[in-house]
Amino acid sequence: MLEFYSASTRMVNSRRAITECLEAALGENIAGCDLIVIHASIGHNYQELADQARRLAPKARVVGASCCGIVGSEGVSESMKDVALMAVKGREELAIAHVDGIYGDNSFEKSAELARQLRAANPAVNMVCFLASGIDIANDRCIAGLESVLGPEVTIFGATSSDNMRGQASYQIVDDRVYEHAAYAVGFADPTLEVDTQASHGFVAVGEPLVVTRSDGHRILELNGRPAWKEYTSRLDLPENATCGDSIPVGALAEKLPEALAREYGNDHILRVVTRREVDTGAMYYATLCPAGTRLWLTVRDEPRIFADMDRMMEEMTRRGGGRPVAAVFHADCLARGRFLFNRVMKDELVSRMQFPLSSDGVVPPWLGMYGFGEFARLGGKNTYHNYTTALYVLRRRA
């Protein structure tokens, strides 16, 4: 049976930060853990984080990612020096895989390779925590690649790594190495666990849509017959030399959902983020494949709706949980929903509305959350990629 432990801290020194987290999570039994999952803000030295974790827990596998802030059982923080981790015991019920060099044009093949590694390591894997580079990747093809080997019944949850909203570089840790375009997957094979996933965003589509008139996979080349970035920033009232950091807080793009999925989602649209632009061509990098003819709406943030949708999501997850004990919570949040969207008080309130319904006698379960570029959660019974959402992955003990 897998056991989960979490901790978070805000500390400048990377080695000391990971030491403090492991001590808080595991006490004197740090060396007894089998997996350490690290989320750390962009100001940390990722090589030092990895090296110190491996020094203190030499038999553990270590994976991790850069992010724009963390959420732990202690609450939320978005400084440049945040670290949070989940430590796991139970080597026989884990499988870890990774690939390097994953990009938009090979996302399917690389993700299928990940899935083959997981299946070879443990054929009983029935849920997968997946994390990939947040820049230049086709996330719907990642899902398809994993499902081509593991099947669509295996729940995929996780996130994509981020920087501090600049869209320049994000990082992944696998054991003793730090990468920029890697992906890792943690497979869970504990028969006593089940995972419940859901995502919510609360944004509203407005105006007339932009129409994709030319694209290449996940690269949008033209919108409305004009260079994509030029048309996009024009509609946002931003200068053409604006950066992704300028566009992300105000530039969520929306695709219309079928009526049945819209009812389940609580919103008529699913959102997408632009994480990179090509200065010379004017192309912009979408988070999924985006064929010509796709209609994309701009959106506005509806803060009362964000809170109302969060409450609705927690009511539904609590109902589905049926009182079964929570073993751990993994959590992915869009970086634009953190300090770039809310002030401190509202952000803390939003997190408290997530954590309170999943707590037991006032104690928050082991919790690992990050502010990243994208989120994976089921929609309509299918593994789905989301942007600009809060996505929760609740691991409960089976009845």
Query: Could you report the per-residue pLDDT of 192-201, keeping only the tens digit for each?
Result: 999 999 999 9
Q: What is the pLDDT of residues 79-91, one digit of tens each?
A: 889 999 999 999 9
- Residue 399's CB is within 10 A of a number of other CB atoms, namely 8
CA-based torsion, 66, 70, 73, 74: positive or negative: positive
The residues of the chain scoring below 50 in pLDDT are 343-345
Q: What local confidence, expressed as pLDDT, does residue 344 receive? A: 47
Q: Are 157 and 130 in contact (CB under 8 A)?
A: yes
Q: What local confidence, expressed as pLDDT, does residue 79 receive? A: 80
Q: What local confidence, expressed as pLDDT, does residue 168 receive? A: 79
52-68 exposure pattern, b = at least 16 Cβ within 10 A, e = fewer:
bbbebbeebbbbbbbbb
Q: What local confidence, expressed as pLDDT, does residue 338 receive? A: 59
Q: Are 142 and 130 in contact (CB under 8 A)?
A: yes
For the whole model, what pTM was predicted? 0.94
Q: What local confidence, expressed as pLDDT, does residue 341 receive? A: 53
Q: What local confidence, expressed as pLDDT, does residue 345 receive? A: 45
- Residue 362's CB is within 10 A of a number of other CB atoms, namely 6
